[in-house]
Amino acid sequence: MKLLIVGSVAYDTVKTPFGERTRVLGGSASFSSLAASFFTETALMGVVGEDFDPGDRALFVQHGIDTLGLRTVPGGKTFHWSGEYGRDLNEAKTLQTDLNVLATFDPEVPESLRDTPYLFLANLDPKAQAKVLDQVKGAKVVAADTMNFWIDQRKEDLLALLPRVHILLINEAEARQLSGEHSLVLAGRKILGWGPKRVIIKRGEYGVLNVSSEDLFAAPAYPLEEVFDPTGAGDTFAGGFMGSLAQAGNLEPAAIRRAIVMGSVMASFDVESFSLDRLRSLRKDEIEGRFEAFERLTSF
Ligand code: AMP
């Protein structure tokens, strides 16, 4: 089934212990839509400035992604995020956030996308996430992601969004920040009390923890010899997860678990290089191969 993703499309400036890159393609919607496109028909919504490289738009089109909802603001500048990682690659330190065209993003969902059954509200201003949700009347499965920046700046809007989403994806530190609980199980349960049916806590190299009233499920991250740049791992996980779920077309426990492992597989590719470089060249048989390796890794 078709999946609509709205989120940031960015130029990122990133420094890790293994190198740095300036103004490379990033953003929550970029990583997640590219990852999802391997599993299901995907549409991307977002906003960019006039500085956005046509080659970057072409990357989405080459992967069969519908970019009708990717709007260019005349005279505007693309959102820019700059971050740094120390030896602990699990936590990004944000150096600078230049919202640019994101500051005034007033999303208008094209008519042809208002019936999309699967909707992923990737990390973005929760006000803009809610505006998209208002318009996609046909959405049957809604997932949302967020981050510390929005928990700090727009907590009320975020709390108002939670009862309207089925699945919240959030990283470990942010789950603790939002809930005020240190234990992730308690944090997940507290967030469940605010509305979503399922909370998926992303734990970087420690994998993910899925908390719902019915089940607790954990998956490790795929162990890699080298991680170059964790930027976008959470978004890539979410894209693989939602893409796989939309492909399955149901929310049965087996489909959820498979989607969680697919998300983990996709994230493991993302971190092997800077920006979207590894996802660009990724092939379906490589995804299948790593999924099988994941099964061998966790079977006992
Ligand atoms: P992650 O998957 O958590 O590593 O997300 C990294 C991506 O989030 C980067 O490509 C950034 O462009 C994007 N990003 C950073 N800050 C924000 C923000 N405040 N709103 C939306 N996207 C952001």
For 183-204, give the secondary structure using H, E and C: CHHHHHHHHHCCCCCEEEEECH
pLDDT level of residue 122 (50, 70, 90 thresholds): very high
What spacing in Å lies between the alpha carbon of 123 and ligand 1's midpoint? 7
The closest alpha carbon to 251, from 263, 240, 259, belongs to: 259
Instruction: Kindly give the number of the ligand 1 atom that is closest to the alpha carbon of 171.
Output: 3
pLDDT, residue 179, reads 98
> Is 270 close to ligand 1, i.e. is its CB under 6 Å away?
no
> Is 83 close to ligand 1, i.e. is its CB under 6 Å away?
no
What is the Cα–Cα distance from 100 to 125, expressed in whole angstroms?
13
- DSSP state for residue 101 in the 8-state scheme: G
Q: What is the mean pLDDT of residues 225-251?
A: 96
What spacing in Å lies between the alpha carbon of 28 and ligand 1's midpoint? 5
Q: Is residue 11's pLDDT more than 90?
A: yes
Name the E strands within 167-261: 167-171, 198-202, 208-212, 216-219
pLDDT level of residue 87 (50, 70, 90 thresholds): confident
Q: Is residue 90's pLDDT more than 90?
A: no
How distant, in Å, are the alpha carbons of 25, 35, 44 from that of 47?
Answer: 13, 19, 10
Q: What is the mean pLDDT of residues 236-261?
A: 97
> Is 10 close to ligand 1, i.e. is its CB under 6 Å away?
yes
> For residues 36 and 287, is the Cβ–Cβ distance under 8 A?
no
What spacing in Å lies between the alpha carbon of 32 and ligand 1's midpoint? 11
> For residues 216 and 257, is the Cβ–Cβ distance under 8 A?
no
> Is 89 close to ligand 1, i.e. is its CB under 6 Å away?
no
What spacing in Å lies between the alpha carbon of 27 and ligand 1's midpoint? 5
Instruction: Kindly give the number of the ligand 1 atom that is closest to the alpha carbon of 123.
Output: 21
Q: What is the mean pLDDT of residues 59-67?
A: 98
- CA-nearest residue for atom 11, ligand 1, is 27
> Is 124 close to ligand 1, i.e. is its CB under 6 Å away?
yes
> For residues 129 and 144, is the Cβ–Cβ distance under 8 A?
yes
Q: Which helix (H) or strand (E) holds 81?
A: strand 79-85
Percent of the chain whose predicted confidence (pLDDT) is above 90 = 96
Candidate from 78, 82, 123, 279 with most ligand 1 atoms within 8 A of CB, to mutate:
123
Cross-strand partners of 212: 198
Q: What is the mean pLDDT of residues 51-76?
A: 98
How distant, in Å, are the alpha carbons of 4, 47, 92, 256 from that of 300?
Answer: 37, 46, 34, 20
What is the Cα–Cα distance from 36 to 254, expressed in whole angstroms?
19
Cross-strand partners of 201: 170, 209
Query: Would you call 70 helix, strand, or coil by DSSP?
Result: strand
**What is the sign, positive or negative, of the torsion defined by CA atoms of 45, 3, 30, 147?**
positive
> Is 116 close to ligand 1, i.e. is its CB under 6 Å away?
no
Q: What is the mean pLDDT of residues 251-261?
A: 96
Candidate from 5, 8, 90, 99 with most ligand 1 atoms within 8 A of CB, to mutate:
8
pLDDT tens track for 179-228: 999 999 999 999 999 999 999 999 999 999 999 999 999 999 999 998 99
The closest alpha carbon to 146, from 109, 185, 106, 173, belongs to: 173
- Region of poorest pLDDT, from 77-91, 116-130, 175-189: 77-91
pLDDT, residue 91, reads 82
pLDDT, residue 141, reads 98
Instruction: Kindly give the number of the ligand 1 atom that is closest to the alpha carbon of 231.
Output: 4
Q: What is the mean pLDDT of residues 282-293?
A: 98
Q: Is residue 114's pLDDT more than 90?
A: yes
What spacing in Å lies between the alpha carbon of 110 and ligand 1's midpoint? 24
